[in-house]
Amino acid sequence: MSPARNVLPREGGFVLVLVVLMLFAISVAGAAGYLVVNTEFSMARYSDQGAEAETIARAALNRFIAEQLGVVGDSVSYAIGNGVGLITSRKLFEADSLNHLYYIRSEGTVTDAMTPTPARRVIGAYAYHRKRPLKHFAAVMVAADQGYSYGATGNVDGNDQNTSGDCAGGGLPATTGIIARTATGAQAGALLNGSPTGETWTGGFNQIYDSVALRWDILSDPSFPIEFDGAPPNFASLPADSFPVVRMIGPLAPGSSWSGRGVLIVTGKFDPGPSFNWDGIVLAGEVDDINQGNIRGMLVGALNGPNLQSPVYWYDTVRYYSCYVHAANESLSYLELVENTEFEAL
């Protein structure tokens, strides 16, 4: 039988109190340290998210303007990085029927589950909507030394085949038949009409490229989104007044399956066959020497550089239809940022 322990009431009590006090002091200091670090971390994160929201807003604004083709949308949103860029546009002024001024507002937000309020920044800018960017210089405009209408069925005509009753802006004065660098004309019984029938632009490719004022580098970039890329749409399923942009990256020798309307962009060599028919505008990086088919509108060729083949012959018809050109041209309309107007709304 072991003796009962005789525990004195004062033993250990002092140490316990001291330990509790020290633990309390350490916990207070620890909590203070945690708060300090946590506050610093939160501030840094808010700042970082604010900067990201601003970057997203600017990126969305520039993406919207760069990718704009055709009718200007009222609102578009992009998922960029950790946030979203929301674009809204408002037309503010019509300088004339072809140039409208828009206010583009871009709101970038970054949402974080750990942050009570999303970081938000707003960037604004102004941009002109160039509604019909391609000028009507000629029925056939090619950056080759020589361009000819050729053969018994050859017919290049710069006279407008539409009248003012066909569409708004229809029935325009005749334009040039063919534009090339050194020589134009009709050979082997072909027809060539227009006013004048032909023009030589001695500046060649550079003069033509600068004059048409197209964003060819963008339109021909595979990463630039085009609605119908690589294959034509089913035109029967589109409204009759729809003149879409259709693009082929690389060479194309179109036949009847590619016949249609709108803007046809061929980034490589364009080599149309006799069954090809197109209403609108054809833009080509390069043009074959022997071309067939029928275009009711305009052809602008060799936008990649001076055409590798010359002369360029057209065996069938290219006739200027201003109404088809207008309709297709509006599908090429784009936004041009008004320089020095991008600002951060505080």
Partner 1 sequence: MSGTFLVQSQYYSSQKLRVGVHDNARVATERIAAEIRSTMQDGFVVAGRRTLTIRAPLVLGVICNRLGSQDGDIHTEGGETAFNGADMAGIAVRDASTGAWDYQTATWSYIDANNSAAADDCADNGADTTWAASEFHRVQHLGDLFSPTPVEGDVMMLFRETTFRIQASVLDTMTLGLFRQVAGGSEVEFATGMDTTAQFQYRTGGATYADTVTSGAIGNIDAVRIVADARLPARSGVLEDITFGWTVNVAVKNLP
Residue with tokens 């936004």: 335
Q: Does 274 bind partner 1 (CB under 8 A)?
A: no
Q: DSSP code of 236?
A: G
- Scored b (16 or more CB within 10 A) or e, 195-206 reads ebbbbbbeebbe
Q: Does 20 bind partner 1 (CB under 8 A)?
A: no
Q: Does 31 bind partner 1 (CB under 8 A)?
A: no
Q: Does 17 bind partner 1 (CB under 8 A)?
A: no
Q: Does 227 bind partner 1 (CB under 8 A)?
A: no
Tokens of 231: 């294959």
Which of 12, 93, 187, 195 contacts partner 1 by CB under 8 A? 93
Whichever of 39 and 187 has its CB closer to partner 1, that residue is: 39
To partner 1, the closest distance from the beta carbon of 32 in angstroms equals 6
Long-range Cβ contacts of 264-273 (<8 Å, 24+ apart):
265/219, 265/220, 265/226, 267/220, 267/304, 270/301
Cβ(175)–Cβ(194) below 8 Å: yes
Cβ(327)–Cβ(263) below 8 Å: no
Select the span of 84-92, 111-119, 235-243, 295-303 touching partner 1 (CB under 8 A).
84-92
Among the listed residues 80, 83, 100, the one whose alpha carbon sits nearest the alpha carbon of residue 91: 100
Q: How far apart are CA 259 and CA 326, in angstroms?
A: 19
To partner 1, the closest distance from the beta carbon of 222 in angstroms equals 29
Among the listed residues 150, 70, 9, the one whose alpha carbon sits nearest the alpha carbon of residue 330: 70
Q: Does 296 bind partner 1 (CB under 8 A)?
A: no
Whichever of 89 and 146 has its CB closer to partner 1, that residue is: 89
Whichever of 168 and 346 has its CB closer to partner 1, that residue is: 346
Distance from CA of residue 17 to its chain's centroid? 75
Question: How many residues in the shown chain lie near partner 1 by CB under 8 A?
Answer: 34
Q: Does 23 bind partner 1 (CB under 8 A)?
A: no
To partner 1, the closest distance from the beta carbon of 203 in angstroms equals 25
Whichever of 40 and 221 has its CB closer to partner 1, that residue is: 40
Write out the residues near partner 1 by the rule CB under 8 A.
Answer: 18, 22, 25-26, 29, 32-33, 36, 39-40, 43, 47, 58, 90-95, 100-101, 103, 105, 124, 126, 338-346
